Amino acid sequence: MSRAPLSFYEFFAGGGMARLGLGEGWSCLFANDFDAAKAATYRANYPDAETHLVQGDVWKLEPADLPGRADLAWASSPCQDFSLAGGRAGLAGGRSSAFFGFWRLMEALDEEGRAPRTIVIENVSGLLTSHGGDDFAALGAALAKRGYSFGALEIDAAAFLPQSRPRVFVIATRQAPPAHLVGDSPFRTRAVRAAAERLTPELAARWIDWSLPAPPARNTDLAAVLEDDAQVAWHDPSRTAAWLDLLSPLHRAKLEAAKASGRRTVGGVFRRMRIEDGRRVQRAELRFDGLAGCLRTPRGGSSRQVVVVVEGERVRTRLLTAREAARLMGLPDSYRLPKATTTALHVAGDGVAAPVVRWLAERLLEPLLAPPAALAAE
């Protein structure tokens, strides 16, 4: 006998990447995003969006806009105020205050007896340390006040995809978790442990050490997601030379080693500001570890990474394409991207890596939310 789909609300939904990761065993009751381009992308990829997607400010939503009682509320709230690339304003920041627009709805649902059984809040790793950990503690206090126990996992998408993208997932529940979901995890990082140790005794009593195993070893690298050389536009030699002229001696040595290997070597090149002899100097740095750097949105930093390909003495550079960025987020090539490249990169760079969501759902959320009878049958 098949199990009924689990239901969820998706806040700050973007292009629906959390929904994609949760998969077909989940039913979306409601989705929301303020950004018109992201909402259009969501509609393009989910034909049923007109029945549940509400575009607009989360602060203007009312509890009546959220149908039924969802098993899960997923919130990938704006992260710029927690990000190292932003101003680190914390929960008081203008964008991250959108979290409270979401949270007031959870409080209202609780008053109506419709609070979701589980909540997942996804954000950048800076959430753990923002304002000396006070913001994370404030988040925990808000959850605890409404009867939730909680824990956090720091998961780098590099465990699943060839992109370095560490993110924090706070998982909160109103029910006692099964024993097999509590314990050690490779995703309970030093930063997570430190955040837990800073909690007050009252909040520490609400803490859960979630157990989530590591996935099988990743078998793809950056080269595997790139489009064919003939299908992309390469920089002219002078532009490539300008990038290479910014290399420090250390990264120049990396380039020379790649040339000497005689193999096709694919990597990324990034601009960085460094202090040298007391002066700020712009440098280019190479990455040849098979990973792309963390995709970013135009507001958060460089929206387009630069790919470098070394084949003997031949060195070429070009911009990462929108489709390649989508692949780095675990999106299938059937996923419909906006036609404008900058918009497509914004949607991809501001999303959540779908394979990370799937792993979390399969190994933690679904067992947590499954009825006891279903667990016994398994």
Q: What is the pLDDT of residue 98?
A: 80
| The domain over range 6-218+351-377 is classified in CATH as 3.40.50.150 | yes
- Output the average pLDDT for the chain: 91
Whether 79 is catalytic: yes
Tally of CA atoms within 13 A in the half-sphere of 120 that contains its CB: 30
Range scoring the smallest mean pLDDT among 40-44, 75-79, 241-245: 75-79
Q: Which of 31, 39, 66, 79 is the catalytic position?
A: 79
Query: What strands, in cross-sheet order, belong to the sheet with 53-55?
Result: 53-55, 26-33, 6-11, 72-75, 118-124, 166-173, 149-156
Quote the pTM value: 0.92
Instruction: Write out pLDDT tens, residues 58-67.
Output: 999 999 999 9
Residue 243: pLDDT band (50, 70, 90) is very high
Give the separation between CA 353 and CA 15, rounded to whole angstroms.
11
CA neighbor of 356 nearest in space, from 129, 187, 126: 187
Give the separation between CA 24 and CA 138, rounded to whole angstroms.
34
Statement: residue 85 has pLDDT above 50: no
Cα–Cα distances (Å) from 331 to 132, 216, 219, 303, in that order, read 35, 19, 17, 18
Cα–Cα distances (Å) from 58 to 11, 31, 79, in that order, read 8, 10, 15
Instruction: Write out pLDDT tens, residues 148-190.
Output: 999 999 999 999 999 999 999 999 999 999 999 999 999 999 9
Q: What is the pLDDT of residue 1?
A: 41
Domain range list for the chain: 6-218+351-377, 228-320
Instruction: Write out pLDDT tens, residues 324-362.
Output: 999 999 999 999 999 999 999 999 999 999 999 999 999
- Is the separation of the CB atoms in 76 and 18 below 8 Å? yes
Statement: residue 84 has pLDDT above 60: no
Instruction: Write out pLDDT tens, residues 86-124.
Output: 454 555 555 447 888 899 999 999 999 999 999 999 999
Can you tell me whether residue 110 is helix, strand or coil?
helix
